[in-house]
């Protein structure tokens, strides 16, 4: 008797779950399950993927927003950063523009934002407080997600266009920054007095995560025995995060569609295997991970 995918993973019948091709999702899952959890790695975006998009009807902050809204930034600085957001965010999520057209504008946005942050002379010792006082929240079910992956020694690679120092602090304060978690993001560079003087390395923005992935192929080398990937993102730019994985066998892509649902739904269904619409939990990723580790 053939198993129905919703019998394998009942959470996939939640009303927030959309799949263009449930049969294909079932085949990928069965193939990954057969290969065993020691062949699995998780590659995920951070802001609005591992963190909540909104809570009690109010938007939750991204890593950049945590800084923007903190005591570390002057009132004038906050105004300027808000103007940048209002200018460039609509472009980022505009489904009528091609990624090629958006690229230079995203670079422009991130570069201007980082220059503004450097001018603010942010102190390293203020970051933990800024995170603690912020409204940032990991999605419901995060504890199970991070703990279970750690328990099964499954690597979690987080690619983020946010700020690595803030991101790490969010996970750290949630008590789930386990040794199997590796972060690729924009990290701050502080001078000897602990004041922000620059950002390190290549800029990672929402549409160049592929380059981030390829720049870090050394890290993927270590993961060659893990050709099965669970990829999680909330933008179409996140789909290239696994491009550094060599000899990939299976990839299951879960997309969180948080905003502008009607106009973006089709493009998400065309690109992601599972689309979660306005779902603030990690219930589906958790159910998938539990299934793949034989804990279902």
Where in the sequence numbering do the catalytic residues fall?
45, 47
Beta-bridge partners for 138: 51
Cα separation, 99 vs 115, whole angstroms: 24
Cα separation, 54 vs 56, whole angstroms: 7
Cα separation, 81 vs 65, whole angstroms: 9
| 76: number of Cβ within 10 Å | 11
The number of residues making up the chain comes to 296
Distance of CA 200 to the CA centre of its chain: 20
Cα separation, 105 vs 6, whole angstroms: 42
* Lookup: tokens for 287: 């159910």
Strand 228-233 versus strand 196-199 pairing type: unpaired
Cα separation, 32 vs 227, whole angstroms: 9
* Lookup: tokens for 81: 């950063």
The packing angle between helices 142-151 and 283-292, to 10°, is 20
Sequence-separated (6 or more) residues with CB below 8 Å from residue 146: 156, 171, 174, 176, 178, 181
């Amino acid at each position: 008797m053939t198993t129905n995918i919703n019998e394998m993973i009942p959470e996939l019948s939640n009303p927030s779950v959309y799949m263009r091709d449930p049969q294909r999702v079932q085949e990928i899952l069965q193939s990954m399950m057969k290969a065993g959890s020691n062949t699995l790695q998780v590659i995920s975006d951070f802001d609005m993927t591992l963190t909540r998009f909104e809570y009690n009807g109010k938007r939750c902050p991204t890593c950049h927003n945590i800084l923007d809204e903190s005591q570390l930034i002057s009132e004038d600085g906050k105004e300027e950063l808000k103007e940048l957001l209002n200018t460039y965010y609509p472009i980022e999520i505009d489904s009528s523009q091609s990624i090629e057209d958006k690229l230079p504008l995203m670079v422009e946005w991130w570069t201007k934002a980082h220059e503004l942050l450097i001018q603010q002379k942010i102190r390293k010792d203020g970051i933990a407080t800024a995170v603690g006082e912020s409204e940032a929240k990991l999605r419901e079910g995060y504890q199970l997600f991070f703990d279970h992956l750690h328990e099964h020694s499954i690597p979690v690679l987080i690619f983020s266009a946010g700020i690595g120092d803030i991101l790490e602090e969010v996970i750290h304060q949630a008590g789930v920054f386990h040794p199997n978690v590796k972060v690729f993001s924009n990290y701050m560079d502080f001078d000897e007095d602990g004041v922000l003087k620059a950002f390190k390395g290549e800029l990672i923005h929402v549409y160049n995560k592929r380059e981030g992935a390829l720049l870090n192929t050394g890290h993927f080398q270590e993961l060659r025995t893990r050709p099965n990937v669970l990829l999680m993102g909330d933008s179409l730019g996140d789909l290239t995060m696994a491009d550094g994985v060599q000899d990939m066998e299976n990839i299951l892509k879960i997309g969180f569609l948080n905003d502008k649902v009607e106009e973006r739904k089709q493009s998400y269904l065309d690109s992601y295997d599972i689309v979660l619409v306005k779902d603030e939990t990690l219930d589906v990723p958790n159910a998938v991970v539990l299934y793949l580790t034989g804990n279902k």
